[in-house]
Amino acid sequence: MKILMVGGGGREHALIRKLLESEKVEKVYCAPGNGGISCDAQCFSVGATDIDGMVSLAKELKVDCVFVAPDDPLAAGMVDAMEKEGIRAFGPRANAAIIESSKVFSKNLMKKYSIPTAGYEVFENSKDALSYIKEQNKYPVVIKADGLALGKGVIIAQNEAEAEDAVHTIMDDKKFGASGNKVVIEEFITGPEVSVLAFTDGKCVKPMVSSMDHKRAYDGDKGPNTGGMGTISPNPYYTPEIADRCMKEIFLPTIEAMNKEGRTFKGCLYFGLMLTADGPKVIEYNARFGDPETQVVLPRLKTPLCDIVDAVIDEKLSDLDIQWSDEACACVVMASGGYPGSYPKGIEIKGLDSKGQVEGACVFHAGTALEDGVFKTAGGRVLGVTALGTDLKEALKKAYAAVEKITFEGAHYRTDIGNK
């Protein structure tokens, strides 16, 4: 099997490494990839959202399958475009990827099919949104841009002034462009958060092992939201009882709802859950593998990933018995100074071997470039330093020991991943 991976972050690096474990996989290519990925897969400088460019590349390389990992190309119909050319592709079509790319769509879907989620209203202009917020007078209140916003389109406003600011920023200043044409104003709910990624072929759903993201930039869940500063798997809050309940109340109803809407979802569906006092509720759906959840979930996968990819595309997932290891896994993200705000690039990373690795861990590269044999920073999240262990404590110890060996100017990482 020859596979083309679309994307260029830590998630894609983890997917590529897992695919390469199978003897059936002859070659993995990646576009655009990054410095670390180029040690494992030949990279091509085609942008992840360049649909025509990616179709041409897939044809040129004569790949057996294209794996579309990021949200933007999925929402823009890259899978549809591949299929139109007779190329097998892993990921949902655009009409199903909307479950992530429009929060208005996903909230209305949940309401229509009684899938538990936080209460909400949708608004198409800032005036109506603000008068609703003032009328409710309940804080904190959650304000969400409808469309994709690099994980930054959710604002939790603590008071009226912050809410006003958020609504204006999203709807009037258009900080996230057309993604802010509509907003969802949502009830603030509380409880531990769980990420569950699931394979689905539209007929059956097979949840992967659970994980926990750490979205805030600094220790103690302080500071601004990021794309994710670290992850652990399994998530200690996700008991078998809760998993059963999620299957019945959330996972199966979601797959069925998408089918009923004529939007069959095939690929990896990500359930962002909150375990509230009233039971598990959906915070968000993603139409793809999570980043950095993938980095801790996939190392635990024992079944060849290429077999699952085929089974999903061929709608034969129910035939497959997917096996997981009992080990725990931890990932600590090392980020550029300034991230999630602006940050410098091109800073030399010290402590990595020629393959971009360190002993005792697996280093997934998120934002690196390889220039004349030297790894340099090239993004906000730079590395996902990951380790397996017999339990969470051991996995964390190994991951942090590896982090200690890596340095670059301005590097910051959380020291409390997995402490909760």
Q: What residues line the site for ligand AMP (CB under 6 A)?
A: 118, 142, 151, 154, 156, 186-189, 193, 215, 225, 272, 283-284
- The item of ligand AMP, ligand GLY, none sharing an interface with residue 189, based on CB under 5 to 8 Å by kind, is ligand AMP
Helix axis angle, 94-101 to 252-260, nearest 10°: 130
Applying CB under 6 A, the residues found at the interface with ligand GLY are 151, 213, 228, 286, 290-291, 293
Which of ligand GLY, ligand AMP, none does residue 154 bind to, with CB < 5 to 8 Å depending on kind?
Answer: ligand AMP
Contact partner, 283, from ligand GLY, ligand AMP, none, Cβ < 5-8 Å per class: ligand AMP
Q: Which CB sits closer to ligand AMP, 186 or 327? A: 186
Nearest residue (CB) to ligand AMP, 102 versus 377:
102
To ligand GLY, the closest distance from the beta carbon of 374 in angstroms equals 29
Kind and range of the H or E run holding 294? helix 293-297
Could you tell me the two tokens for 271? Answer: 């359930």
Least Å distance, CB 163 to ligand AMP, is 14
CA neighbor of 89 nearest in space, from 69, 68, 74, 70: 68
Partner interacting with residue 118 (select from ligand GLY, ligand AMP, none; CB below 5-8 Å by kind): ligand AMP
The entry of ligand AMP, ligand GLY, none near residue 188 (CB within 5 to 8 angstroms by kind) is ligand AMP
Compute the distance between CA of residue 6 and CA of residue 70 in angstroms, rounded to an integer.
7
Query: Which residue, 32 or 151, is less far from ligand GLY as judged by CB?
Result: 151
In whole angstroms, how close is the CB of 103 to ligand GLY at the nearest point?
13
Write phi, then psi, for 292 (nearest 5 degrees). -100, 30
Render 69-96 in DSSP notation, one character per residue. Answer: -SHHHHHTTHHHHHHHTT--EES--HHH
Cα 105 to the center of its chain, rounded Å: 19
Q: Give the nearest distance from C-beta 297 to ligand GLY in angstroms.
A: 11
Between residues 171 and 268, which has the closer beta carbon with respect to ligand GLY? 268
CA-nearest of 97, 9, 23 to 304 is: 23
* Cβ-based nearer residue to ligand GLY, 40 or 100: 100
Q: Give 224-270 as a 3 state SS string.
A: EECCCCEEEECCCCCCHHHHHHHHHHHHHHHHHHHHHCCCCCCEEEE
Count Cβ atoms within 10 A of the Cβ of residue 173 and give its class: 0-12 exposed, 13-18 middle, 19 or more buried. exposed
